[in-house]
A and B are shown apart, each in its own frame.
Chain A
Amino acid sequence: MTTFLVGLVIILVVIIVARIMRILELTEELCPQDDAQEQQKENNWNAKILLAFLVLMFSYVAYESFNYIKFLLPVSASKEGVISDKMLWINFGVIGIVFVFTQILLFWFGYSYVYKKGKKAFFFTHNNKLEFYWTLIPTIVLLGLIGYGLKVWNDIMLKPAPDNAKVIEIYARQFDFTARYAGNDNKLGYAYYKLIDGTNRLGVDATDVTSHDDILSTELHLPVNQPILLKMRSQDVIHSAYLPEFRVQMNNVPGMTTQFCFTPTITTEEMQKITKNPKFEYIMICNKICGAAHFTMKMHVVVETPEQYNEWLSKQQTFIASMTK
Chain B
Amino acid sequence: MNPHQDATSGHEHDHNDQEVNHWSEAWWKHHGTHQPHSFWTKYVFSQDHKMISKQFLITAIVMGVVAMSLSTFFRLQLGFPGQSFKILEFFLGKWAPDGVMSPDFYLSAITIHGTIMVFFVLTGGLSGTFSNLLIPLQVGARDMASGFLNMLSYWFFLVSSIIMLLSLFVEGGAASSGWTVYPPLSALPQAISGSGLGMTLWLVSMVLFIVSALLGGINYVTTVFNLRTAGMTMWRLPLTVWSFTVTAILGILSFPVLVGCMLLLIFDRGLGTSFYLSDIYMGGQALHYSGGSPILFQHLFWFLGHPEVYIVLLPALGLTSEVISTNARKPIFGYKAMVYSILCIGFLSFIVWGHHMFITGMSPFLGSVFVFTTLLIAIPSAVKVFAYLATLWKANIQLTPAMLCAIGVVSFFISGGITGLILANSALDINLHDTYFVVAHFHIVMGSSAIFGMFAGVYHWFPKMFGKMMNRKLGYAHFWLTIISVYGVFFPMHLIGLSGVPRRYYNNESFAIFDQLNGVNAVISLFAFLGAIAQFIFIFNFFYSIFRGKKATQNPWKSTTLEWTTPVEAYHGNWTGAIPEVHRWPYDYGKPNGKEEDFIPQTLPLEEGEVDAGGH
Contact = CB atoms under 8 A, between A and B. Distances in A.
A106 B389 contact: yes
A193 B295 contact: no
Interface in B80-127: 90, 103-104, 107
Contacts of A18: 540, 544, 548
Contact of B592 (A103, A123, A291): A123
B103 A295 contact: yes
B365 A158 contact: yes
A91 B294 CA distance: 32
Given A109-B392, A134-B386, A91 B399 contact: no
Contacts of A296: 510
Contact of B407 (A22, A106, A124, A156): A106
Interface string B448-491: 00000000000000000000000111001000100110011001
How many chain B residues sit at the interface, stated as a range, is 35 or more
B489 to A, nearest CB: 12
Interface in B551-607: 587, 589-592, 598
Contact of B337 (A103, A113, A126, A293): A126
B389 to A, nearest CB: 5
B329 A115 contact: yes
A84 B498 CA distance: 13
B330 A60 contact: no
How many chain A residues sit at the interface, stated as a range, is 35 or more
A221 interface: no
Nearest to A239: B185
A313 interface: no
Interface string B301-338: 00000000000000000000000000011110111110
A164 interface: no
Given A72-B495, A109-B393, A287-B502, A91 B425 contact: yes
Nearest to A201: B281
Interface in A164-206: 173-174, 192-194, 196, 203
Interface string B272-283: 000001111110
Contacts of B431: 81, 84, 88, 244, 247-249
Contacts of B90: 2-3, 6
B264 to A, nearest CB: 15
Contact of B331 (A107, A114, A125): A125
B6 interface: no
A46 B404 contact: yes
A242 B502 contact: yes
21 contacts: A50-B407, A53-B484, A91-B421, A95-B418, A105-B392, A115-B329, A116-B396, A121-B328, A138-B382, A154-B364, A237-B185, A244-B500, A251-B359, A254-B280, A256-B278, A281-B512, A283-B511, A286-B502, A288-B182, A295-B507, A298-B510
Given A134-B386, A232-B361, 15 more contacts: A18-B544, A49-B480, A95-B422, A106-B410, A113-B394, A120-B329, A123-B590, A127-B334, A134-B383, A145-B421, A145-B425, A203-B281, A255-B277, A283-B511, A292-B103
Top 9 nearest A-B pairs (CB, nearest first) are A244-B500, A255-B278, A258-B361, A121-B330, A109-B392, A122-B394, A157-B364, A95-B418, A121-B590
Interface of B: 90, 103-104, 107, 177-178, 182-185, 188, 191-193, 277-282, 286, 292-295, 328-331, 333-337, 359-361, 364-365, 367-368, 371-372, 375-376, 378-379, 382-383, 385-386, 388-390, 392-400, 404, 407, 410-411, 414-415, 418-419, 421-422, 425-428, 430-431, 433-435, 471-473, 476, 480, 483-484, 487-488, 491-492, 495, 498-500, 502, 504-508, 510-513, 516-517, 520, 540, 544, 548, 587, 589-592, 598, 613-614
